[in-house]
Every structure is written in C-alpha cells, then in structure tokens.
Amino acid sequence: MPTRHSAIGVFDSGIGGLTVFRELLKILPRESVLYLGDTARVPYGSKSRETVLKFSTENVLFLLRHDVKLIIVACHTASSFGLPFLEKHFKHPIMGVIEPGVETALATTRSGRIGVIGTQATVGSEAYLHSFSRRDPAVKVTQAACPLFVPLVEEGRLNDSITRQVAQRYLKPLIRARVDTLILGCTHYPLLKRTITRVMGPKVRLIDSARQVALKAKGVLEGLQLNTPLRDGGAPLRRFFVTDEPRHFEALSRRFLRQRLGDVSKVDVAG
Ligand code: DGL
C-alpha cells in the first residue's frame, strides 16, 4: 500500500522526461522521485501503438516494484498511445502529459486556433485532437509532426541555423493556420523554445506541459491525501534508472536538468 512517504514514479522513453522531473523538483521539493528512462529502446516516437503499449506496460510494472504512490507517464508518445490502456489495467494512480497541456492551451487561446507539435506517433494517434474535441469542439486544432527535433536537441543544436531551417519547414502549416497558442507536445521541445518563438513570432504562446503536469501531480497527491507533509524530517530520495548503460544519459542530463544527477543504475525492465 502506498503511503505519504512512497515516491512519485516517472517514466519516459529516454532522457526527455527530465523536463517533467525538473518541474516536479520545483513544485514538490519534499517528494521522493524515481525516474525510469527506457534508453535502450528509445525513440518511441517512430514506433507502433502495440510496441509503445508493451514498453509502457513493462515500465509501469518496473516502477510498481519500487513503492510508488503516483506514476507519471512523462513521454507524450506513451501518454498518447497508452494512457487509457494503462489506467484501465492498473489500479494505481497514474497520469499523463496530454490533458494538462490541453487544459492550459484552452485557458490561454484567444482566437480558438491552437497548434500541436509532437512525434509522428503522437500526431498520428490523434490523442490531442480527441481531447480538444471532448472539451471544446469549437476550437480549431492544427497538428504537425517534427521528428528531427528530438535528435537536434540531443545533438545540442538548440539555437543554430540548421534547427531554425528545420523549424521553418515544420512550422509552416501552423503559421498558415494563424494559431495563437502552440502546445510543445514532446518532452524535448521545451529546449527549443527560443528557436520556435523566432519562427512563430513573439505573439504565439508556447505551452510547456511539464510545469502543468507537476501542478496536476500536486493536486492529485493532495486529493489522495498522499502528499508528503512540508515539515517532514528525512531528505527526499532521487533515483534514476536507465535500460542502457548510464554514461550517455548522465552526459545529456546536464542539458535537461542543469544540475548533477544522483545515482543512475542500469536495469532490465523487459519481462
Ligand atoms: N519522449 C518522447 C515524447 O515525448 C520523445 C522521444 C521519443 O521519440 O521517444 O514523445
């Protein structure tokens, strides 16, 4: 049985979910957090629904072996394909990254024209489209897949001219649709905010769902009365698990987290 002292478990296809981890540290500094990056099987964004569901199920089973009170699916691809399935199959509290982004976009847009960018899988799943049409069928949503953004971020090309050219090509349909709000529907895209703003123009509001996810996690824990009390004694635990050797993850993590990681262990999650 999870208690207040159990950890929050976060999983992602690899490194990108550290954008969510970083916000969790800010909003819930007293909570212990376990992070699983499935670095051996990344990327998920070009894989089929069936494969992503299998990987996501194994990731959840791994986290459940570690006394977690809430599981956050930090990966947009895994959330798009897998969240309803995971919610149905596991009784544990579990949340994804799609709904918090949609809620914020709806509260932000003035024109009702909203853009969504993500991996091929996220865009193809239409998870964002379904969520918008459930909540407000009047908004007009334009989507675009940006598959080269993930490798560009991992190569550290956050603000250079190649990235800008790629962004100009990918974002054209969104400029044409005159969106006033753009959801960064992938773990890596918050690191490209500057380039995306240069291409879209300063008036377009970018929705970084990582912060909204952390705020929602706070609300869920309070609702379940499983939040760690503020004046609790011991230091919160931070642990990182990866499915490939940790060196690459540790090196890249500085870009995502801007601080040193704690312990990173290699694990096998495949059952
Ligand atoms: N974490 C993935 C996402 O947010 C991006 C990387 C991948 O394709 O696995 O969709």
| Res 232: pLDDT | 61
For residue 52 and ligand 1, the question of a CB distance below 6 A is answered with no
For residues 169-175, give the mean pLDDT.
98
What pLDDT score does 263 carry?
81
User: How far away, in angstroms, is 14 Cα from ligand 1 center?
Assistant: 8
Q: Where are the domains of the chain?
A: 8-96+211-266, 98-209
pLDDT confidence of residue 165 = 98
Is the minimum distance from the CB of 150 to ligand 1 under 6 angstroms? Answer: yes
Residue 186 annotated to the active site: yes
* Identical fold between 8-96+211-266 and 98-209: yes
Rounded distance from Cα 244 to ligand 1 centre (Å): 16
Atom of ligand 1 lying closest to residue 17 CA: 1
- Ligand 1, residue 44: give the atom nearest the CA: 9
Is residue 231 pLDDT above 70, yes or no?
A: no
Q: Is 158 helix (H, G, I), strand (E, B) or coil?
A: coil
pLDDT-based confidence at 257, cuts 50/70/90? confident
Q: CA of 89: how far to CAs of 61, 106, 109, 138, 166, in Å?
A: 11, 29, 34, 32, 39
pLDDT in tens, 176-216: 999 999 999 999 999 999 999 999 999 999 999 899 999 99
Share of the chain above pLDDT 70, in %: 98
CA of 155 to the centre of ligand 1 (A): 15
Ligand 1 neighbourhood includes 119 CB (under 6 angstroms): yes
3-state DSSP assignment of residue 24: helix
Instruction: Decide if 7 contacts 226 (C-beta within 8 A).
Output: no
Using CA positions, which residue lies closest to atom 8 of ligand 1?
45
pLDDT (0 to 100) of residue 131: 98
Give pLDDT, residue 270.
Answer: 85
CA 130 remoteness from chain centre? 18
- What fold, for 8-96+211-266? Rossmann fold (3.40.50)
The protein residue with its alpha carbon nearest to ligand 1, atom 2, reads 75
Confidence grade of residue 74 (pLDDT, cut at 50, 70, 90): very high
Q: Which of 105, 112, 108, 115 lies closest to 175, judged by CA?
A: 115
Could you tell me if 257 and 21 are in contact, meaning their C-beta atoms sit under 8 angstroms apart?
A: yes
CA distance 195 to 246: 29
pTM for this prediction: 0.95
Q: What is the model's pLDDT at position 27?
A: 95
Q: Encoding tokens for residue 60?
A: 């959840």
Q: How confident is the model at residue 258 (pLDDT cuts 50, 70, 90)?
A: confident
> Domain spanning 98-209: which CATH class is it, in words?
alpha beta
Angle, CA of 130, 70 and 122, to the nearest 5°: 30
Q: Which atom of ligand 1 is nearest to the CA of 78?
A: 10
Compute, in angstroms, the gap from residue 167 CA to the centroid of ligand 1: 17
For residue 241, count CB atoms less than 10 angstroms from its CB and return exposed for 0-12, middle for 13-18, buried for 19 or more.
Answer: buried
Question: Cα(6)–Cα(31) distance, rounded to whole angstroms?
Answer: 8
